[in-house]
Structure 1
Amino acid sequence: MFNFIYDGYWKGTNAKDTTLFDKGARMMTIIDFQAAKKWAKLPYEMQRKLLHNVFCVNCGLATIKEYTLKDDTYGIVVEASCEKCGSNVARAIEMQ
């Protein structure tokens, strides 16, 4: 197990996954390092805006606390659960 700094935030890792804690008390689990590389290229403010723009079918605009990044042909998929109702939510982020 080792720790390293990611964009100024503490990040702990093991062989299987990585957990990132950011200033907004969100927790990200990385199981796909390609997705993490793409995500790291986005400015912090853009990441925050994208995470605050997730739709829940039950609640409308969702607040998420824990999320997972997955690589996609067109960019990244953020998978999470709605903090209010617990439904699964996802946010596709297209990248060039």
Structure 2
Amino acid sequence: MDKKNEAELLSFNANKKWLSLPKETRSELVRNVWCSSCIDVVQIEKYIIEETKFGIALQGTCKHCGKRVARAIEID
């Protein structure tokens, strides 16, 4: 399997895990991300979902300052 197909498969698996969470839970997670630049909890924007060893991670930008932020989510 080439790298592009592997990345697409990982993205699919990560998205499947993300969508397995209730909609309300997903909304809460998106609005509850720590930004070290703002030194506050913020909303993540323009995020991608990546599969990790323990679940998934949201990688995106802070709604307030635009700096990069991330949120790890443990999923069985």
- What's the TM-score bracket when you normalise by the shorter of the two chains? 0.7 to 0.9
Higher strand share: 1
Secondary structure of the structure 2 residue equivalent to 1:32: helix
Alignment partner, residue 76 of structure 1: 56
**Normalized against structure 2, the TM-score is what?**
0.80
Distance in 2 (CA, whole Å) between partners of 1:63 and 1:40 is 18
Q: Structure 2: 5+ residue runs without aligned partners?
A: 1-9
Distance in 2 (CA, whole Å) between partners of 1:33 and 1:68 is 11
State the AA in 1 paired with 2:46. E
Higher helix share: 2
- How high is the sequence identity, in percent, across the aligned residues? 39
Root-mean-square deviation over aligned CA pairs: 1.2
Which of 61, 70, 76 matches 1:90? 70
**Normalized against structure 1, the TM-score is what?**
0.64
Q: Structure 1: 5+ residue runs without aligned partners?
A: 1-30
Alignment partner, residue 43 of structure 1: 22
Distance in 2 (CA, whole Å) between partners of 1:77 and 1:45 is 17
